[in-house]
Structure 1
Amino acid sequence: MALFCVRTLGFPEISRDNRPCRLPLRKGLALLVYLAEAKGPVGRDVLATMLWPDSSEDVVRARLRRLMYRLQLVLGDDVLATDRSTVRWSSAVDLQLDSQLFELACDRGEFEQACRDYHGDFLDGFSPGDCPQFDEWAFFRREALRGRMIQALERVVHDRHAAGDYAAAAGYAGRLVQLDPLSEVYGRHLIRNLLLAGDRAAGERHFEALKQRLRDALDVAPETETLGLLNTAAAAPIDTPPPTRYAYGGIHLAFQTHGAGGIDILVLPGFVSHVERIWEEPRCRAFLSSLAVTGRLILFDRRGVGLSDRVGFNPSVDATARDIGTVLDAAGSRRVVLFGASEGGPACIRFAADHADRVAGLILFASLAKGNATPDYPHALQAEQYDVWVQQLIAVWGGPAGIETFAPSLARDPQARAWWASLLRAASSPGAIKGVLEALRDTDVRHLLGQISVPTLVLHRCGDRAVRVGAGRHLASHIAQARYVELDGADHWPFAGDQQAVLASIRQFIGGIAA
C-alpha cells in the first residue's frame, strides 16, 4: 500500500512513499488537499463549482475529467476513487494529513507535539487562482487551525513556566508573538520568561520591539503591566490559571479560588463547564479576572461535568445545591455572593433559600426558574422541543455545538469556535451530558422564589437566544425586592458581547452589599 503524505500546514506538498510528487497543477493540488480534508467522497459538482466557478456545467465537467487524468499520470492509477457523481482518495492508499495529526495531538492534550506538528498556517501562500469559494474555505480552515495552535502554545508556555523551564517557555512564547505581534499578553509572556531565564538583553530588545509595533500599528503605548516588566520580572507571575483542588462530599468536586478581595463570589455556570479550559478563552479570562478584582472568585464544576466526578444518575438541583455548600466549606467561605449563570441559577436559588445566613447576595444571569414550558410558564421550550434540541446538540457534540445560540457575536470567530468545541469534549461525553440536560429539563424552583430574602440582582440580555428574556423578567418579578437590569445584546454567555455592562452592574450590586 502506497503511503501518501499531504502537507497543508505551510505551502502544500504531496509525497508518495517519502518522495515528493511534482505537481505543476495548482488546481490539481487544491483538489487533492480538499479531498484529503473532506475524509470521504465529494460530489463532482461541488469540485467543479469550486475550481471553475464561471464556466458552464459541460465545460467544468470536462475540465475535471482532464485534471483527474493528469493527476493519475503523476500519482498513479490507484490514488483516486471515482464514480459517476463523486471523487475521493482511494482506500487502497495510506493517507496521512498533517492538519489532522495536529488536531489529534491537540485533542489528546499533547500540546508540545501539536506545536511541533504545526509548520505554518494552513495553505500558507497558496491559491489555485480565480477560485473564490476555495479561497474562502481555506481562509476559515486556516483561522480554525491557527486558533488551536495559539491555544496549544498558551498551554505549553504556562506549563513550561510553571516547571521553571523559562528558556523553553520563552521559545514557545516567541511563536505566540509571531502569530499575534500586537498582543501585549503574548509579548509579556516572552519578555518575562526571557528575563527569568537570565537573558536580560533579549528581554529588553523584545520590549523595545513590542513598544515600536504598538506605536506604529495602533498609535498606543504599552500597558502599565508591560512597562513594569523590566523592573519586576522576577517577582511578576505569569497569567496562569489558578490551581485546581478537590472538595469531597460523597463525590469529588473540582474547584478553584482566585483573587483575595473582601467578599467571596462563587460562580456556577450553565450545563457544562471545565474549570481549567475556561481560562483559555481570552474574553472569558478577562471577565473572570475582573470579577476576581471585585472579590475572591470561587469556581467549580458541577457533579457529572468538567473535572468533577462522573455520576451514574441525573444530578438534581438539590444535589448541586449541596455541592455548593461542600465547595464553600472546602474554600473556607463563610459568606458569599452566588453568581448563577443560565442553568446554574436554580441551584443557587435553592442554596440561597435554604442558607440565607451564608449568602450575602444572589446574582442570576440569563437564568430561569423552570426547565420546560407549561401553560403557566411560557418562558422555556416545550418538553418535546427541549428533547429535540438535546438530540441536535448531542449529534454535533464534537464541534462547537450551539455556539450560534449561546454567543452569536462569536459564532464566526474561529478561535472561539475551536475553544468551545475543545471545552465541550473535555467537559463531558455526549451520553453523560444527556443525563445532565434531562435533569435540567425537569427543574422547577418557582416555589422557592418567594423564599429568597437576600439582596438579588437579575441580569438578562434582551435578545438572548438560549433563555428567553421573559424568564429573567419572571425571576425578578417573583423575588422580593430583586433588582432587574435588562441589557442590550443577544449573547447568552456573560463574557461574550458587552461584558463591561455586565461587570458594571455586578460591581454596583456588590458595592451596595459591602456598604
Structure 2
Amino acid sequence: MSDFSLPETRYALSGDVSIAYQVMGSGPIDIIMVPGVFSHVEFMHELPGYTAFLRRLSRFARVVNFDKRGQGLSDRMPDAPSLEERMDDVRAIMDVIASQRAVLFGFSEGCPMSVLFAATYPDRVSHLILVGGFSRAADRMPDELWEARLEHMVKFFGSGDMVKTVIASHSNSAEVISKFAKLERLSCSPGAMRTLLVLNRQIDVTSILPTLQVPTLVLHRKTDAQVPVAFGRKLGEQIPGAKYIEYPDGDHCFWVCEVEAQHGDIQEFVTGHREVVSADLERVLVTVLFTDIVDSTGRAAEMGDQHWRRLLDEHDRLAREVVSRHRGDLVKKTGDGILATFDGPGRAVRCALAMSLRRPRDRSFLAIWAPYRRDRD
C-alpha cells in the first residue's frame, strides 16, 4: 500500500464503553463496516487484500470499520454483548462522526446485527449490504454436532485453524495462517470467544426480515466454506425487494479472491453507477509467472481421469505453497497450470525454478515470466 497511510484509530463512547473505530475516505456516503465474529481494527490491515478493499470503497464513500465491544481495541467485557448492545455501538460511532444516515455493510455474524439495526432505525440506514450472512445461527449446525464443534473451535482458537473455512483458498499458506492466528489472539481470549459463540448460537432475526423497509443487497459466494450459500439464498428470499447476487467461487472473507465484480455491484447498488475506469489507479511494475504442464492432453489420456486428477490436485497444492513462499500473488489456476504475479523478476524466476525442482513425480513444467505494467488498486 505505497503512498497510502493507514487510518488513525479513534474511540467512541457507547454508554461507558469505549469502541475503537477508524475512518477512511471523505466521500459523501457513509459506509459502516459491521465485522464478523472477531476483529482488530489495526491488525486487520495486515491481512492481504483487506486494506485494498476498504480503500476501493473509500473512492466514493467515507468508510468506517470498528471493533465490537469486547473485541480488538474496544473495551473488554465480562460477558458477551447482545445484539442490542452491538446496535448501540454502531449508533454511538455514527453520532461521533456526525453521520445522520449510512450504508450498513454487514459481514457474516455482522449481518443479523445489521438487520436488527436497519429494522429498528430505518431512518438512519440508507442501504443494507449483507455479505456471507445468515438469519438464524442454529440452522447452520444441528444441536448434536454443535458441542463438539464449539470445543474444537475454542481448543484451536489462536492457531489460525479457521483459515480452513474462512479463507480456504489460502489454507496452505503458512504466512496467511500465521497472520490469521495472530488476529484471533489479538481479538479476544479463548474463553471470551466461547462465551460469544454460545450467545451467537441464539441469534435469530428471521421474523424481522419481512419487516425491513431499507434497500437491501445480499452477496454470497457459492463456494463459501464457512456459511453455506443456501443461507445467503434464504436471506435474500426473505427480505422484501432484496437484490441477491451469487458469485460462482471465492472464500468467506469478502476481501480475498475475485473482488472486482463485488466492488462494482456494491458501488452500483449504493450510487446508481459503477466505476469503469479510474484515473487515480496506482501504477505498479509486476512480473507475471505462467506455468503449464507439458503435453497435458496427451498425458491425461495416457494416465486416465482418476490418476490425472490426483496429479492436478498435487500440482495445485504445490503451486499455492511455492508461490506463497516466494511472496507472490496466485491470480488464478488454468486447469493444467497457474498464473501468478510478483513484485520483481528475481522472485518469479526463483519460484519457477523451485516448482521445476519440486514438480509432481515424472512431470515437467514450462515457466514463462515477463515484466509488465498494470493498473491495480
Query: Scaled by the length of structure 2, what TM-score is found?
Result: 0.70
Q: What's the CA shift for 1:513? A: 9.1
* Cα distance, 1:417 vs structure 2: 1.4
* 1:89-100 superposed matches below 5 A: none
The alpha-carbon deviation at position 240 of structure 1 amounts to: 2.6
Paired residue secondary structure (1:329): helix
Task: Note if 1:483 corresponds to 2:248.
Answer: no
Alignment-mate amino acid for residue 351 of structure 1: F
Residue 346 (structure 1) aligned to one of 101, 109, 112: 112
Residues 361 and 513, structure 1, Cα contact 8 Å, conserved in 2: no
> What are the equivalent positions in structure 2 for 1:95-110 lying under 5 Å apart?
none
Deviations 1:215-252 (A, max 9, x none): xxxxxxxxxxxxxxxxxxxxxxx433211111111211
Instruction: Give 1:333's aligned residue.
Output: 99
Counterpart of 1:408 in structure 2 is 168
Confirm or deny that 1:288 pairs with 2:54. yes
Cα distance in structure 2, aligned partners of 1:462 and 1:400: 23
| TM alignment of 1:239-318, pairs within 5 A | 239-250=4-15, 251-318=17-84
1:450 is aligned to 2:217: no
Q: Structure 1 pair 323/276, CA: closer, same or farther in 2 (3 Å)?
A: same
| CA distance in 2 between partners of 1:313 and 1:370 (Å) | 21
Of Structure 1 and Structure 2, the greater strand share is in 2
- 2:48–2:256 CA contact under 8 A, matched in 1: no
TM-score of the aligned structures, taking structure 1 as reference length: 0.52
Structure 1: gaps of 5 or more residues: 1-184, 189-237, 374-379
Query: Which amino acid counterpart does residue 247 of structure 1 have in structure 2?
Result: A
Q: CA deviation at 1:350?
A: 0.6
Corresponding residue SS for 2:272: helix
Q: Distance in 2 between matches of 1:255 and 1:344?
A: 15
**Paired residues, number:** 273
Would you say the 8 A contact 1:398–1:421 is kept in 2? yes
Is the 8 Å Cα contact of residues 107 and 130 (structure 2) preserved in structure 1?
yes
Taking every aligned residue pair, what percent have the same amino acid on both sides?
A: 36
Bigger proportion of residues as helix: 1
Map 1:452-471; keep pairs closer than 5 Å.
452-471=212-231
Q: Is the 8 A contact 2:221 2:229 kept in 1?
A: yes
**Among candidates 176, 187, 200, match of residue 440 of structure 1:** 200
Q: Distance in 1 between matches of 2:54 and 2:205?
A: 27
1:253-296 CA deviation, whole Å, 9 max, x = no partner?
Answer: 11111101110000012100000011112311111111111310
SS at match of 1:443: coil
In the TM superposition, 1:36-47 aligns within 5 A as none
Match of 1:178 in 2: none
Distance 1:351 1:476, change over 3 A: same
Asked if the contact 1:304–1:436 (Cα under 8 Å) also holds between the matched residues in 2, the reply is no
CA distance in 1, matches of 2:73, 2:198: 20
Unaligned 5+ residue runs, structure 2? 275-377
Q: Contact between 1:264 and 1:296, CA under 8 Å: does it hold in 2?
A: yes
The CA deviation string for residues 190-216 of structure 1, in whole angstroms up to 9 with x for no partner, is xxxxxxxxxxxxxxxxxxxxxxxxxxx
3-state SS of 2:49 partner: helix
Deviation string, structure 1 residues 67-124 (Cα, Å, up to 9, x no partner): xxxxxxxxxxxxxxxxxxxxxxxxxxxxxxxxxxxxxxxxxxxxxxxxxxxxxxxxxx
Q: Measure, in 1, the Cα distance between the counterparts of 2:143 and 2:94.
A: 33
CA distance in 2, matches of 1:452, 1:387: 33
Partner of 1:369: 135
Highest CA radius of gyration, 1 or 2?
1
Contact 1:465/1:490, CA 8 A, preserved across alignment: no
